[in-house]
Amino acid sequence: MSKELSHAAAILQALVRCRSVTPKEGGALEILETLLSGLGFEVHRVKFSDENTPDVQNLYARLGKGAPHLCFAGHTDVVPPGDEDKWSHDPFAGNIDNGELFGRGAVDMKGGIAAFLAAIIAHMENYGEPAGSVSFLITGDEEGPAINGTKKLLQWIAERGEKIDACIVGEPTNPEALGDAIKIGRRGSISADIEVIGKQGHVAYPDLADSPVRGMTSLIASLLAVPLDQGSQNFQPSNLEVTTIDVGNETTNVIPERATASLNIRFNDNWNEVNLKAEIERRLQLGAASDVVRNHPEPVNYNISWREPVSPVFLTNDEALIT
């Protein structure tokens, strides 16, 4: 095992052993603060708060003052492990079995942080401090609401008068083998909730009711009838998924009054927030006027509410960095 890999494995093992389930810091940022401070980084622990969301601890550390400034962006928070008894290894033990380290966050994305930090250690041992500046921007809010994390930390950095010239995001991108994909962008993401208001009634007398389930079926069929696009030069086709449909009905002989559904769209650079919302609302209007499954004279009574924030499409134009 190389010296660099042993550094990475030791750092990753320590990070995995921190139970940093969003929004808990769990000791992971404390480990990074200790290691980075020891390397000469200027380290800041920054906590952000907002209404109706938990407080979140973040970390920003920089080595050097000059340009160019290369930043590594990542997160130490992880999703819950679920039933820990069903894991082959304790999700927070960092066990190494046959050369593989097991644990929640080992890939997404404590492994990326450990690898980048190990690379910095190796560079400093072999060549001294890098030219320009290197920094770590680490949030504890990526797997949660994502309100008190990266976006606010970037604003905080800008207010300090600092400029980042290029950024590497340590999210895992290799589906088959290490190094088989380096992503230079990301699709956008937008979510919405749809509500259909019908009229409650007994199933024996459907003519006296208006089933919101039938109305919702018309809307969803209209949303999914035609693909949003065929993809673009840099991205796969945009994808709309209905992630939940609910009526809250506990009986089988009553037509409910309302139905709700939620959807998420991962969209490519054929779209932006404005024209994508317009297209979805156009399709909903077509579905509301459809009488395919409702057999009802009036259009579907519905409303749509868009969730915030909307994540825009990103595609880097920095050819030197890509190369």
Catalytic residues, by residue number, are 77, 142
Question: CB under 8 Å, gap of 24 or more: what pairs does 297-300 form?
Answer: 298/210, 300/196, 300/215, 300/216, 300/218, 300/219
Coil, strand or helix: which one is 98?
coil
Question: What is the pairing mode between strands 53-63 and 42-50?
Answer: antiparallel
Q: How far is CA 62 from the centre of its chain?
A: 25
Instruction: Please tell me the distance from the alpha carbon of residue 136 to that of residue 39, in angstroms, as a whole number.
Output: 13
Q: Which amino acid, one-letter code, is at 269?
A: D
DSSP 97: E
Under a CB-based contact definition with an 8 Å cutoff, are residues 60 and 135 in contact?
Answer: yes
- DSSP-H helix ranges across 71-134: 110-127
Under a CB-based contact definition with an 8 Å cutoff, are residues 229 and 238 in contact?
Answer: yes
| Residue 182 neighbours by CB distance under 10 Å | 9
Two tokens at 33? 């603060």
Under a CB-based contact definition with an 8 Å cutoff, are residues 134 and 127 in contact?
Answer: no
Q: Kindly report the CA angle at 190 between 186 and 193, in degrees rounded to 5?
A: 160
Instruction: Please tell me the distance from the alpha carbon of residue 77 to that of residue 105, in angstroms, as a whole number.
Output: 8
Helix, strand, coil % over all residues of the chain, rounded to 5:
30, 25, 45
Under a CB-based contact definition with an 8 Å cutoff, are residues 213 and 247 in contact?
Answer: yes
DSSP 200: -
